[in-house]
Amino acid sequence: MEDSSFFNRMIGHLRGTCKYYTGYPKDLGPSQVIHFTSEREFVNLPHEGFPVVVAFTIRGNYTEHLDKVLEEAAAEFYPHVKFMRVECPKYPGFCISRQKKEYPFIEIFHSPTHVANQGRVADPNITKYNVKVMPFNYDVSPYGFREIFKRYGIRTSDTK
């Protein structure tokens, strides 16, 4: 009986002090993953000044794993990086415009800049932007996101 309480104290201490404890359940709080509803909402996200990680998904076994990874990464990098999930069967036009054939896939949108030559624009209130898009081809885990952010110099914290 005493061994059981020692074990519980040891596990409790591990959960409380170890930053990279991988056991479940994790207390991630409310979901920080944004669900795609419109292209207009999506276009506004990079202009808030934060990188946006977008997962283009369809229903399947791997998608359930990806959802857990996105939740964990969104909780870790919130509010400096936004995470969004697009269900491609609901929004086929947006997914087809990305010109990918294999699902799920992840892309990172960051660093919006004004286009110098606006060209011919139907509405003078429309401003064109260039946004850098990187395919995500690292390990699908919070560690993989951390590594790609570090490699491409994407700011994920308030360090000055």
CA dihedral 152, 155, 156, 159 (to 10 degrees): 140
Token pair, residue 98, equals 């990305």
Report helix, strand or coil for 15.
helix
Identify the CA nearest to 54 among candidates 64, 42, 68, 41. 42
What are residue 154's phi and psi, to 5 degrees?
Answer: -85, 125
pLDDT per residue over 95-126, tens digit each?
Answer: 888 878 788 888 888 876 666 666 665 666 66
Share of the chain above pLDDT 70, in %: 76
CA distance 104 to 6: 43
pTM over 0.85: no
Sketch out the chain's domains with CATH numbers.
38-113+122-159 (3.40.30.10)
Under the banding of pLDDT at 50, 70 and 90, the label for residue 137 is: confident
Share of the chain above pLDDT 90, in %: 5
pLDDT score of 135: 79
145 versus 10: the higher-pLDDT residue is: 145
